[in-house]
Amino acid sequence: MNSLQFIVIAANKIIFLTASTIIFYILAAIVLGGGLLAVTSRKIFRSAIYLLFSLIGIAGLYFYMNYEFIAAVQIVVYVGGIVVLIIFSIFLTHEAGADMKRPAWTRIIFAALAALFGFALVMMLVRDNEFYPSGAPAVDAGAGSIGSQMLSTTEHGYILPFEVVSMLLLAAMIGCIVIAIKSRTPGTETADNQSRRDAFGTTDNL
Amino acid sequence: MNNIGLEHILFVSIALFFIGCYGFMTRRNLITMLMSVELVLNSVNINFIAFNKYLFAGKLDGVFFTIFIITIAAAEAAVAIAIIINLYRHYKSIDVEDADQMRF
């Protein structure tokens, strides 16, 4: 094949990109770019915002695959819950705008090499593997069918994991309160607390 | 390259997984390490949804696994942040190198 032919074929491929394909590439770029910036940015607040973009891109991927309920859950739980929690904890523990220390070069190099080789290995395995679709007709993945299967007690129901995970959430909530509660023993007030109380009239704000 | 198949989505999820691994290995700040773990968990979720969509469209099991992973990730993030705030009260820092009381 000479180069002219190759260019014509490449141009054809670019021209016949469908809107769906373009949307997928945009979403993938948002997800991967946001993720890369989230793990490399040296300002921790920006890092959290890049994580937010990456998570929204993942919700977009779920929309792309027609799982609207999962996309909604992703936005509500991750974007509305976890990222907000992370941002609050950044405000509680960091000076806003301060740069983080740059990690050692050897660590960056070896971590990048490990990640690259792992990526290459898994991509090679995925390339070599053949996937066989089951061919079954697609079922409705709306909230109604998900909810009725999750709460059913028949053979394919998920009621037991549902109950177990609800216990786990309760335990996690109580555990958070127990861990983060401020133990207040009399007579051990630090100078830091003292000055803070003088400034604000209370020590409750951390 | 014109129609998006399973392998395209697997590429995204694998890349996101190793980006999260890279962040977990290089970062020394507990909150950023937590963010890397969230990226890894999300890449697993993409995998479950993609396999459900392209290979087992007749079932919903991947969707349920994704929902449970999201739930557990939320619980894990809440507990981790409670621990981080407690650690910050003791050490005035959330760098993993500074929290060395339980070493040895």
For A17-67, the DSSP string reads --HHHHHHHHHHHHHHHHHHHHHH-SBHHHHHHHHHHHHHHHHHHHHHTT-
| Closest-approach residue (CA) in chain A for B92 | A93
Q: How far is A169 from chain B (nearest CA, A)?
A: 6
Q: How far is A187 from chain B (nearest CA, A)?
A: 17
What digits encode the pLDDT tens for the residues B41-87?
A: 999 999 999 999 999 888 888 999 999 999 999 999 999 999 888 88
What digits encode the pLDDT tens for the residues A122-150?
A: 999 999 988 888 888 888 888 888 888 88
Residues of chain A with pLDDT under 70: 1-2, 8, 10-16, 96, 184-206
pLDDT at B35: 93
Residue B78 to residue A176, Cβ atoms within 8 A:
yes
- Chain A CB contacts of B53 below 8 Å: 65-67
For A60-90, the DSSP string reads HHHHHTT-HHHHHHHIIIIIIIIHHHHHHHH
Structure tokens at A177: 């309160």
Residue B15 to residue A206, Cβ atoms within 8 A:
no
pLDDT at B18: 96
Identify which has the larger pLDDT, A206 or B90.
B90
Residue B94 to residue A93, Cβ atoms within 8 A:
yes
Helices A105-128 and B6-26, axial angle in degrees (round to 10): 160
Q: How far is B100 from chain A (nearest CA, A)?
A: 18
Instruction: Quote the CA–CA distance of A193 and B73 in Å, as a whole number.
Output: 34
- Chain B CB contacts of A152 below 8 Å: none
pLDDT at B101: 75
pLDDT at B103: 60
Instruction: Quote the CA–CA distance of B73 and B92 in Å, as a whole number.
Output: 26
Residue A44 to residue B18, Cβ atoms within 8 A:
no
- Chain B CB contacts of A172 below 8 Å: 75-76, 78-79
Residue A86 to residue B29, Cβ atoms within 8 A:
no
| Closest-approach residue (CA) in chain B for A26 | B12
Q: Which residues are CB-contacts of A88 (< 8 A; sequence separation ≥ 6)?
A: none
pLDDT at A17: 73
- Chain A CB contacts of B62 below 8 Å: none
Largest separation between any pair of C-alpha atoms in chain A:
86
- Chain B CB contacts of A85 below 8 Å: 77-78, 81
Q: How far is B70 from chain A (nearest CA, A)?
A: 8
Query: Are A133 and B59 a contacting pair, CB within 8 Å?
Result: no
pLDDT at A192: 58
Of the candidates B6, B49, B50, which has an alpha carbon nearest to the alpha carbon of residue A127?
A: B6
Helix (H, G, I), strand (E, B) or coil at A204: coil
Query: Are B54 and A133 a contacting pair, CB within 8 Å?
Result: yes
ipTM associated with this complex: 0.91
CA A140 and chain centroid, separation: 26
Query: Are A35 and A48 a contacting pair, CB within 8 Å?
Result: no
Helix (H, G, I), strand (E, B) or coil at B29: strand
pLDDT at B72: 93
Q: What is the DSSP letter of A112?
A: H
B25-28 long-range contacts, CB within 8 A, separation 24+? B25/A107, B25/A110, B25/A111, B25/A114, B25/A115, B26/A39, B26/A103, B26/A107, B26/A108, B26/A111, B27/A39, B27/A103, B28/A101, B28/A103, B28/B95, B28/B96, B28/B97
